[in-house]
Amino acid sequence: MSNELASTGVVDRTLGTGDHKTVGRLWIFSGLAVGVAALVLRLLAALEQLDAGSVALFEDLDEFVQVWSLSRDLLIFGGVAAVLVGLGTFIVPLQVGANTIAFPRGATAAFWVWAASLLMVVASYIGNGGPGGGRVDFVTLWALALGGMLFALVWALICIASTVLGARAPGMTLEMVPVTAWSYLVFALLGILALPVQMAQLVIAFLDVRGGYMPIVETTPLSAVMDTITLAPSVYWLLIPTLGIALDIIGVHTGRPLRFHRSTLVLIGLLGLTAFGASVTAFGGRRGSVDFNNAFMVLGLLESVLPLLGALALGGESLRSGTPSFRVPLLAGLTSGLLALGGATLALLGAVEPIVGFFAKLADRTPDVPDVLTVNGTTFNAGVTAAIVTAALVGAVAGLQHWGHKIWGHQMGEGGGSLAVLALAGGGMVWAAGEVLGGLGDQPALPAVADLDANMVTIGNILVVAGVAAAAAGVALALLNTAMSGVLGRGSVAEPWSGRTLEWLTDSPPPFANFESQPVVKSASPLDHMDRSPATSTPIPEEVTA
């Protein structure tokens, strides 16, 4: 058998894999690489914005719009979402005690559909397509290809959600599901319900351009098609797994699992519900009463802060009562949580205008909002998105550092990890601050080289350049660190820390079918009831063998 095994090459094992662990690694690597590329493109767009009132780097304004929208779509659907899906594809089956992901071939196909669609998205822009594009075929290819990426993400999320719902280890009720796996369930359900709405909008864009109902010289507004899910509070969708990962890490690195497990699950669910409600409202807001929808959006923004605060408070309780080991995963997890809270709180500033407008309407008065807070329609919203996306990226890096040993069999470098988190978090904050400052200086949200010379906008644009550059360096460092462990096999092979959930029961990396035999779960901390060996090879205790 061993000779035949040796004949199976790396390419064969990678391209034709049905193993969720390999698929997860593919998602993670590709997501990080695409994330770096997206941020480099965003940096180019930011450099162009430095010189307001003229187009220097690009040929014309349309080209600027193309680069800007490509960077946004790649960052969210090609970078952050892909890394998060990759982590989920790898970790969730292990956490729930499944020997594979549900519909493993489907999970593999989802990755390849995503990858092919991603290449087509890039090709469409190269051929002068996408928002701001000038050729019908390539603009419609953009709509199709981006729709393909969303379709693939939905497909991958169906596999993850089905794993949590239908492949849990015997004894594991839904309320015993680990925090990360639960957050992935909420993330997946939300994506399954919200992403098809985006796909429908892309279908409309396709039909409008193909049918000649949107003149090809006026395709810039297409960049707003994805606003429904790339702006707060809908973009909080990306925070849900991040929050789960951060809380899981806190539990492991303080030696104190979250005391109120069920409450944590409820809070994560609430965050998901809010993000979904906001997503639907944002969609309806295109058509319904502006005041009514604004009120809902405000409610969504408020409701998102509360579960975030609550969940972080529960994590804080573990920090207080446990013995925290402040290593990279914990620090990154905490940074991610705080960034998320910061972004969500920042979004509330943008809600002042609709709140005042709503109550003024009720009282039949003219709304009186200070100019500095009339930020809707400016880059302020992009600032909130920058904060949220950075929080999600830092959370993903935290997850990679935490489970790196499980994923690659080698502990990921702490130095590289620290630098990546530092650059990413610092850069993200500066980037968000720059966008917000630009927004307060009235810079329009739709990418445009406006005739602006206000100091606030200029300083904001400089901050955006610095922040995006640092964030790009952070993701590049994370990619490098991952490659060092994953490809070059650098790093310690000894298991660095151990948690109480099922992924820590098996070897690192886990064997072909994850567990030597089916574990049986008795509580939300299943390993508390199992006799564990600390070595890399973990024998399954007899009491849990089926």
Partner 1 sequence: MTDISVRPTIGSTAPPAEAVRPRMLLVGTSLASAATFMGFLALIGLYVGFRQDVIATGETWLPSGVVIPLTQPNMMLATWSLASTAVIWAIFSMRNDDRANTYIAIGLVMVLGFAYIAQTAYLLSLMDMPLYPTGDNELDLLQRPPLFYGIIGTHVVMTLVAMGYLALTGLRSLGGQYSSRDLEGLYGSAMFWMTTYGAYLVMWFAIYITK
74: nearest Cα among 114, 46, 47 = 114
Contact between 490 and partner 1 (CB under 8 A)?
Answer: no
Q: Which is nearer to partner 1, 157 or 332 (CB)?
A: 157
Q: Report if residue 56 touches partner 1, rule: CB under 8 A.
A: no
DSSP 497: -
Q: Least distance (Å) from partner 1 to the CB of residue 2?
A: 9
Number of Cβ within 10 Å of residue 450's Cβ equals 14
Q: How far apart are CA 466 and CA 120, in angstroms?
A: 30
Span from 132-140, 411-419, 451-459, 516-524 in contact with partner 1 (CB under 8 A):
516-524
Q: d(Cα 239, Cα 246) in Å, to the nearest integer? A: 10
CB of 75 to partner 1, least distance (A): 23
CB 158 to partner 1: min, Å: 5
The one among 289, 517, 533, 536 contacting partner 1 by CB under 8 A: 517
* Listed ranges 56-64, 398-406, 415-423, 515-523: which one lies at the site for partner 1 (CB under 8 A): 515-523
CA 315 to chain centre: 20
Span of 13-21, 267-275, 406-414, 421-429 interacting with partner 1 by CB under 8 A? 13-21
φ, ψ for residue 376, nearest 5 deg:
-65, 135
DSSP letters spanning 205-271: HHHHHHTTSS-GGG-GGGGGTTHHHHSTTGGGGGHHHHHHHHHHHHHHHTT---S-HHHHHHHHHHH
Instruction: Give whichever of 10 and 363 is closer to partner 1, judged by the CB atom.
Output: 10
- By CB under 8 A, which span of 190-198, 291-299, 414-422, 427-435 interacts with partner 1? 190-198
Q: Is 40 exposed, middle or buried (0-12, 13-18, 19+ CB in 10 A)?
A: middle
Contacts to partner 1 from residues 72-111, by CB under 8 A: 98-106, 108
Of the two residues 208 and 495, which places its CB atom closer to partner 1 in the complex?
A: 208
For the bound state, the minimum distance from the C-beta of residue 431 to partner 1, rounded and expressed in Å, comes to 31
Interaction of residue 4 with partner 1, rule CB under 8 A:
yes
Contact 434, 387 (CB under 8 A): no
**DSSP conformational letter for 76:** I
- Residue from 19, 353, 435, 442 touching partner 1 (CB under 8 A): that is 19
Kindly tell me which residue out of 59, 173, 217, 287 binds partner 1, with binding defined by CB under 8 A.
287
Binder among 289, 325, 536, 545 for partner 1 (CB under 8 A): 545
Residue of 276, 278, 150, 281 whose CA lies nearest to 205:
150
CA atoms within 13 A on the CB side of 533: 10
Length of the chain, please?
A: 546
Q: 10 Å Cβ neighbour count for 152?
A: 24
What are the residues facing 378 on neighbouring strands? 444
Q: Determine the Cα–Cα distance for residues 538 and 527; give it in Å rounded to an integer.
A: 12
DSSP state at residue 79: I
Interface with partner 1, residue 536, by CB under 8 A: no
- Nearest approach, Cβ of residue 169 and partner 1 (Å): 9
Q: Count residues binding partner 1 (CB under 8 A).
A: 60
Contacting residue, 345, 418, 498, 518, with partner 1 by CB under 8 A: 518
Q: Does 12 bind partner 1 (CB under 8 A)?
A: yes
Applying CB under 8 A, among 309, 516, 529, 532 the residue interacting with partner 1 is: 516
- Select 117 or 514, whichever has its Cβ closest to partner 1: 514
Closest CA to 91 of 423, 489, 506: 506
Angle at 195 between CA 192 and CA 201, to 5 degrees: 145
Beta strands in 60-189 (DSSP E): none
Instruction: Figure out which of the listed residues 13, 259, 320, 365 binds partner 1, where binding follows CB under 8 A.
Output: 13
Q: Is 36 helix (H, G, I), strand (E, B) or coil?
A: helix
248 binds partner 1 (CB under 8 A): no
Using the minimum distance from each CB to partner 1, give the nearer residue, 163 or 336.
163
Kindly identify the residues of this chain, within the stretch 194-213, that bind partner 1 according to CB under 8 A. Answer: 194-197, 199-201, 203-204, 207-208, 210-213
Does residue number 161 form part of the binding site for partner 1 (CB under 8 A)? yes
Return the number of the residue (451 or 542) whose C-beta is nearest partner 1: 542
Longest dimension (CA), the chain: 82
Name the one range near partner 1 by CB under 8 A: 301-309, 351-359, 379-387, 509-517: 509-517
Which part of the chain contacts partner 1 (CB under 8 A), choosing from 151-159, 291-299, 303-311, 321-329? 151-159
Does residue 227 touch partner 1 according to CB under 8 A?
no
Please select the residue that binds partner 1; options are 43, 158, 267, 334, rule is CB under 8 A.
158
- Distance (Å, rounded) from C-alpha 206 to C-alpha 139? 8
Q: Is the dihedral of CA 335, 330, 466, 78 positive or negative?
A: negative
Side-chain half-sphere CA neighbours of 80 within 13 A? 30
Q: Which of residues 450-489 bind partner 1 (CB under 8 A)?
A: none
φ, ψ of residue 524 in degrees (nearest 5): -70, -15
Interface residue with partner 1, options 116, 137, 162, 480 (CB under 8 A) = 162
Tokens describing residue 44? 């180019």
Q: Compute the distance between CA of residue 182 and CA of residue 167 in angstroms, rounded to an integer.
A: 13
Supply the angle between the helices 61-73 and 104-126 in degrees, to the nearest 10: 170
Which residue lies nearer to partner 1 by CB, 207 or 362? Answer: 207
Site membership for partner 1, residue 137 (CB under 8 A):
no
**Binding of partner 1 at residue 283 (CB under 8 A)?**
yes
Q: How many other C-beta atoms lie within 10 A of the C-beta of residue 440?
A: 22
Q: Assess 513 for contact with partner 1 (CB under 8 A).
A: yes
Which parts of this chain interact with partner 1 (CB under 8 A)? Answer: 1, 4-5, 8, 12-13, 16-20, 98-106, 108, 154, 158-159, 161-162, 165-167, 188-189, 192-197, 199-201, 203-204, 207-208, 210-213, 283-284, 286-287, 511-514, 516-518, 545
